[in-house]
Structure 1
Amino acid sequence: MSTAAPATARTSSPAPRPKGAARRGSRRTTLLRWAFVAPALLYMAAFFGYPLVRNVLMSFQHYTPKTYFTGEAPFNGLDNWRAVFGDPLFTDALWHTALFTLGSLAGQFTIGLALAVFFSRRFRLSALVRAVLLLPWLVPMVVAAVVWRRILDQEHGVLNAALKTLGLTDGGVPWLSSPSVALTAAVLVNIWIGIPFNMVILYGGLQEIPRDLYEAAALDGASPWRAFRSITLPMLRPVITVVLVLGFMSTVKILDLILALTSGGPADSTQTLGTVTYQLSFLRLDFGQGAVVGNVLILISAVFAVLYLRASRADFEGRK
């Protein structure tokens, strides 16, 4: 009787894939990735890339209403750019845009942060009060501007009537009819409109800060102001960056508020880059020069976006 020797179990490594199969698999994976990305790329190219390229080309063309019928838009080199940069209205609008944007951002952020900190300490009816404070953000910009135009009216405005009742002024303040006051009035109205957005976003960021940090700081004897500077602001930095960037993007190109409130007047004292673009394109019907101002706005936004991305990357790497 013969006994069979037990078979020893041997593990064998899988056979390596042929190089051709591996290359085909890698190519197939790459194609699948591009297939998923292609719709987004096509959308970006159609609705962002093409209008941007057309706007750049238009700034080097003599583009008038006649072009829409004849199709003729001869290139005129840098004539449009020279005309725009040589116009004092553009220089004034650039300065007004800077003042309007910086003033609006400073006021919206400061008051929004103060309200966010206030509402982070829960109290009765806090949710209802926050909901009421959201109303300026929900009202259409044009409607808000028309309402504020009535409020700021020199003769019959509610604000001047209140100031007279309090004895703070004898005559009505020319909020919208004085070149030295109109831009300030526009900034104040835009601050009122933008406060809810800042408050909501910053309030959400405050809710993500662990309460343990404040308790530990209180045990160490830190004052509320010291805790705010050492805990709240550093932890809130990413949210602050987002709020300021989005606020800048929406404020620097603002148009409807200025048009409905002052129409760029009086004496062009509230002309911004947005209103100058509108005036050149749709009032003077010089679309080439209007495209120049539009390109300046795009360039300013692009520079700010690059700075934001670099700051975000540095902050992300610092958190590693």
Structure 2
Amino acid sequence: MRTTRTTGAEPRTAAKSLTGRLTPYGFISPTAALLFVLMFIPIAMVMGYSLMDNVITNKHPEFVGLDNYVKVLSNGVLPTAVLNTAIFTIVSVIAHLVLGLLFAMMLNTKLLSNLTTGLFRVIYVLPWLFTVAIIAILWRLLLNPNGVINYVLVGLGITPTGIEWLSTPGTALLAVTFINIWAGYPFYMVSLLAGLQGIPTDLYEAAKVDGASALQQFWHMTLPQLKPIIISMSLLDVIWTSQQFALIWMTTGGGPINATEMLSTFTYKLAFSNYEFSQASASAVLLLIVSTVLAYVYARYQKARE
């Protein structure tokens, strides 16, 4: 009888198979470790702080349960912050979409020469190139009572004196919303322009043959083709705009008299103006929940698209 001799081929094959399965995890392990240290651990700490007596300023904080959440939800400034955030977000997102679509369609038209189109592209995309700090300083100078905008309005006789755009309760929210719209529409414009250029021209030629007007082509052809892009960008814009902090803080600081108080500035002031770090942590957790819900909706939509 002939006996089969066992070799080391099978163990080597198993080792290679195991190495092949573990290799992808090796590649993502640095990123996973970074996320764990910079995101998951801080989130867990903030959640813990929200359940304790005032941390940082108290050497021996005690567990208080949901008391901080009750205090935040019963804070008289919170309804104002929620309303301002809702107005700021809704108006900004709608204006971003409308302006971005209008400018994208203008840049996509064949009525303009290549030189003119290129010039307009540079001009329209400029707000996207500036940092938040530059945008805030630029518009604070422009909206100053002695600034260019008031100079033009007074010169045209629209107003007898300069308006305190960022210091008047009746105009502050309008002003910061306008600044945010100006800074954010290029994101829509660039994305929608790419979408417009991806629509086959055969569809429009067939529609013209069938006698469809320009408005009918836009409503029944252009918008349906752009619908996936519009929904994706709108969901992202809602998440980003509702969390806007830097622009508000560097222009109005949430004032005057809470006229531009947002959920982000409300949370910041709880921590670094009132030194209520536990309440600020509770407010941050509530914001995290809202953001998580919005992110879940966005992820579900993207999965449904695929």
Gaps of 5+ in 1: 1-18
Q: What is the rounded CA distance, in whole Å, between the counterparts of 1:296 and 1:127 in structure 2?
A: 45
8 Å contact kept, 1:93–1:272: yes
Indicate yes or no: 2:31 matched with 1:40: yes
Structure 1 residue 24: Cα displacement: 7.4
Matched with 1:284 is: 274
Indicate yes or no: 2:39 matched with 1:65: no
SS at match of 2:165: coil
Structure 1 residue 26: Cα displacement: 6.3
Structure 1 residue 226: Cα displacement: 1.3
Indicate yes or no: 2:213 matched with 1:223: yes
8 Å contact kept, 2:107–2:120: no
Q: What is the rounded CA distance, in whole Å, between the counterparts of 1:309 and 1:229 in structure 2?
A: 27
8 Å contact kept, 1:104–1:190: yes
Structure 1 residue 32: Cα displacement: 3.5
SS at match of 1:125: helix
AA aligned to 2:25 is: W
Matched with 2:108 is: 120
Per the normalisation by structure 2, the TM-score is 0.88
Indicate yes or no: 2:134 matched with 1:146: no
Matched with 1:133 is: 124
Indicate yes or no: 2:180 matched with 1:190: yes
Cα deviation code 1:270-314 (max 9, x no counterpart):
000111111111111221111122122221111111112222333
The worse-fitting range, judged by mean Cα deviation, of 91-100 and 167-176 is 167-176
State how 1:251-270 maps to structure 2 within 5 Å: 251-270=241-260
The worse-fitting range, judged by mean Cα deviation, of 301-310 and 35-44 is 35-44
Cα deviation code 1:172-204 (max 9, x no counterpart):
334222212211111011101111222112112
State how 1:1-150 maps to structure 2 within 5 Å: 29-66=20-57, 70=59, 72-122=60-110, 123=113, 124-150=115-141
Matched with 2:5 is: none
Aligned length: 295
* Stretches of 4+ aligned residues off by more than 4 angstroms: 19-29
The structure whose Rg is larger is 1
SS at match of 2:275: coil
Identity %: 34
Per the normalisation by structure 1, the TM-score is 0.84
AA aligned to 1:236 is: L
8 Å contact kept, 2:50–2:279: yes
AA aligned to 1:305 is: A
Q: What is the rounded CA distance, in whole Å, between the counterparts of 1:258 and 1:223 in structure 2?
A: 43
8 Å contact kept, 1:64–1:285: no
Gaps of 5+ in 2: 1-9
Structure 1 residue 28: Cα displacement: 5.2
Structure 1 residue 21: Cα displacement: 9.8
Structure 1 residue 65: Cα displacement: 3.4
Structure 1 residue 267: Cα displacement: 0.7
The worse-fitting range, judged by mean Cα deviation, of 242-251 and 215-224 is 242-251
Structure 1 residue 164: Cα displacement: 2.4
1:293 is aligned, of 275, 283, 287, to: 283
